[in-house]
Amino acid sequence: MKQKMSIAGILLLAALGMQANSYTVKSPDGKLVVNVACEGGKASYTVDYNGKQMLRTSALGLVANYGDFSKNLTMGILKGGEVKPLAYKMTRIKKSDIQKDVVDATIGFLNSKKDSMTLHLHVSNNDIAYKYEMSRPKKDNPKSVIIYNEVSGFNFPEYNPQNEMFSHFGMKRYNFKNETQLFKVIPHTSKIQKNRPASPERNTFEGS
């Protein structure tokens, strides 16, 4: 009996030791890399594109009416991560038929009260989106989620293409009556935007 308990204890320790404190999700072409980590009980993420840092360590999480998901978190396992095709229509933009490959993944978190929050990641070659799924507490109360505070953020590095883009408008005064001068700015700005991933979008919603 003691031998069985010892074996069970060893297996439990091994499982805890194998629990990752970070996960990496890459875009279909491998250039856009999102790393999600949980250190000191706080969840965060970073973003690199083609080897260049786009977002430094940025916070993840929120504070709801029934639990705090901004600290004392334990990260679970990553699910998904496979490349799959996505197609949808947007009638109010130039390119209404959207077809692209995406990688969808989920990572679960538990707070100190063992309430759960799931992070959904959506990564394609040029954009990132994420959202939180809140699971209803075991006692089935409260019936709805009220978000008191969201700590999620975008921590841009000191130098990045977006800073360069905005610096052209902040450092120079353009006379908008001078069309020649104005149109010199637009191609340069478009070029910067083309070579960087879009900033992550975030959303919160109530789980079923």
**CB-based contact 152:70 (threshold 8 Å):** no
Confidence of residue 19 (pLDDT cuts 50, 70, 90): low
Predicted TM-score (pTM) of this structure: 0.69
196 or 45, which is more confident?
Answer: 45
**CB-based contact 204:135 (threshold 8 Å):** no
**Percentage above 90 pLDDT, the chain:** 50
**Percentage above 70 pLDDT, the chain:** 66
Q: What is the mean pLDDT of residues 124-135?
A: 92
Nearest alpha carbon to residue 47 among 34, 60, 38:
34
For residue 144, the model assigns a pLDDT of: 83
